[in-house]
Structure 1
């Protein structure tokens, strides 16, 4: 029995640490291939265009399974959906170690994408259940910052494992880390009303701070495809597409850029490649804190979200100039600013599903926007690979990424409307609801 009249517990922040760790492992597993790419290309005799296809294989299944993963998370709960997701991708990562060429790499990367599809939609749903609205951006920044930590740690760690034990060992180690996380998550996580260590004060604090109460029942008020009738959903999808097109340069081709275009040796590449994601990590955490502080001071949710989204994407356009400078130091600085801009936008992007989704559909909305956004993940590595193979330079590819971030900024500033929950149309108050949800 829970005690009353006691100091409020803070279990929700422990849940945030779990979400952060899941995303950190998620990105560690993704970037193992990126860090080992030069070695794998040499061993299997792959050119840049072929390696671009291998890299993009992940995104085909990752994008395809976003909506089913979001639906599953809202239907059966995030405890099961996130555990399944991490277990699946961890096994796929470990199996990559037995690859014998391009075909097997494509198969295992496709399996990895299927598993990782559930991570962000599940985390969006957990955030909507566990946190009051005024803490949502900070939490989104925290769990999404795991992607930067995972990316940053992966490079020197994977390069060390690779140089010491061969390129296959990092895949096995990364897979085992994920399975360890699954065991701990399954033992600890429950929804707020069912969690053993949440007292009445914390539960009241959470629920009283939410405009819509997520997870009290599992009834979804509309089909997922009906969400596409709403202006904000479309703007979220297009804007996130543009961000992902740019950010996946760092996840896929950035180490190769440092080696081939800037002449870094492997170990130096491993350390230098940490700089942009670490810069992005700091930027995202500060942006999340600042955003929630502005909201607490009375600024509208629309203003707060657009400040992060538009401002961050405009900063990210600096990626276009990174290939035009001769100095490697200046190039890394510009890429770091770009990464910081992308992460500033990202914490708001992952707050939006909880802000605008109909009740009990936060994971579905998160999956929908992530599905469309990762078409950028599919196109980015392929387009970049073919540009490099054709021009023998990274500069045109970086300029294309810069153009994408500019389009993203304009999308969030002018297409995205008022940030508020979608309320499904009913016959009783039709006029009010259509205005409230900005149906198009």
Structure 2
């Protein structure tokens, strides 16, 4: 699960690294390249719910396996592009495949792990995104220097194809069906689950009926505020470090990966810690989820303080804290679908949550760009991001109710 998400983020980053070469070769305008880059989110966001439904209905083995092979092939053939239209088509195809990754992983976690390990598992597989985002740029730049941008797409695409082959050979949708699971492990998994997913594929309600529940709305809105901030680190951070903090390209390349690497470690620690708190009985599941969400968002608000940091070193430290905060919150965000979904609908709930959250990926870079363009500074943009974090805190404090499975 971790490796699938890491490959997911490496594949979506190739175009960003190759953009200067592609723009020059095909004589594309900045506007055209912006449309190509955003094309990924059109299909990625819109297909989250259908991908989640497919995963719950037909199994995560098929959903995630087909998805990784699909997006890997879409990555591999991007080197065959001949201009704007074909590049846009390949980018949209990439989003179609990658849409199934997170909903499938959420469903796998609900089937294969006891309730007391959900946040740990969620933080581990989501941390793959930070590793993939951090390692992608130096890896891709090295490959382009050695083989050119077209062959780089093909080489990166082969990573996912290899993963897919192993996945289909190894994975089973339920622990009952895996020959490597003995009776003791099966008892440990199933006896620790409030809701035992996967034993049937019957879904007790339609996906849109979930919109009647306030917890679903709180999960979707809260993750939107978190993702708006998260996407700053993989879109505008390099530009911020160069233009606002005066770093050269080599310094920027190293520093831009630092918040992601720090956040990767912090996220796993946060997920593990929250599971320990729940297991100890000192706090309820609801109190634990809210506590770690609020702690994470308070850390994330440091993005606003970074705007006023006098030194580049202090700004980078605050940005590391801010990015780590979004991942502390994410360790709970990706556990919540397993906590609240009706039986056999974890992937659907995760898909709904991720649909709304990725609207932050669609509008965040655009809004930041317009604010910076209008003011000539990143300060107002960072303060606006911090303001959304405050809204996220109120959302989780007051809109999110008791964390328990929806009774269908």
TM-score of the superposed pair, with normalisation by structure 1:
0.88
SS in 1 for 2:404: coil
Of 313, 338, 359, which aligns to 1:375?
A: 359
Aligned residue number for residue 156 of structure 1: 138
Alpha-carbon separation, structure 2, partners of 1:327 and 1:42: 35
Is the Cα–Cα contact under 8 Å of residues 38 and 256 in structure 1 kept in the other structure?
no
Residues in 2 aligned to 1:396 and 1:174: alpha-carbon distance in whole angstroms: 37
State which of 281, 287, 297 in structure 1 corresponds to 2:270. Answer: 287
**The residue matched to 2:247 in structure 1 has which SS?**
coil
- CA shift, 1:407, in A, is 1.3
Report deviation, 1:326: 4.2
How far did 1:341 drift? 0.1
| Residue in structure 2 matching 1:120, options 102, 114, 117 | 102
Structure 1: distance between partners of 2:9 and 2:187: 34
Structure 2 residue 165 is matched with structure 1 residue 183: yes
Deviation per residue, 1:100-151 (Å, 9 max, x gap):
4444333222111111000000000000000000011100011001001101
| Greater displacement, 177-186 / 25-34 | 25-34
Q: 1:169–1:300: structure 2 CA closer, same or farther, 3 Å change rule?
A: same
Q: 2:195 corresponds to which residue?
A: 212
Give the 3-state SS of the residue equivalent to 2:149 in structure 1: coil
- Residue in 2 that maps onto 1:341: 325
Determine which of 60, 65, 70 is the counterpart of 1:83. 65
**C-alpha separation in 1, matches of 2:13 and 2:101:** 16
Match status 1:264 vs 2:259: no
Matches within 5 A, 1:329-408: 329-408=313-392
**Counterpart residue number, 1:431:** none
1:32-431 superposed matches below 5 A:
32-41=14-23, 50-190=32-172, 191-298=174-281, 299-424=283-408
- Following TM superposition, by how much is the alpha carbon of 1:405 offset from its aligned partner in structure 2, in angstroms? 1.8
Against the structure 1 CA distance between its residues 94 and 290, is the aligned structure 2 distance closer, same or farther, given a 3 Å change threshold? same
Task: Flag the 1:89–1:271 CA change in 2: closer, same or farther, 3 A.
Answer: same
Q: What residue ranges of structure 2 are gaps of 5+ in the alignment? A: none
SS in 2 for 1:273: helix
Given the two structures, how large is their TM-score scaled by the length of structure 2? 0.94
Q: RMSD in angstroms over aligned alpha carbons?
A: 1.9
Question: Gaps spanning 5+ residues in structure 1: where?
Answer: 1-18, 425-440
CA 1:41–1:249: 2 relative to 1, 3 Å: farther
For residues 101 and 384 of structure 1, the distance between their equivalents in structure 2, rounded to whole angstroms, comes to 28
CA distance in 2, matches of 1:44, 1:314: 44
Q: Deviations over 1:184-237 (max 9, x none)?
A: 000000120100110011001100000010110000000000000000000000
Q: What's the secondary structure of 2:241's corresponding residue?
A: helix
Aligned partners of 1:421 and 1:226: how far apart in 2?
15
Secondary structure (helix, strand or coil) at the match of 1:274 reads helix
Looking at structure 2, the residues matched to 265 and 158 of structure 1 have their Cα atoms a distance apart, in angstroms, of 19
Q: How many residues align?
A: 406
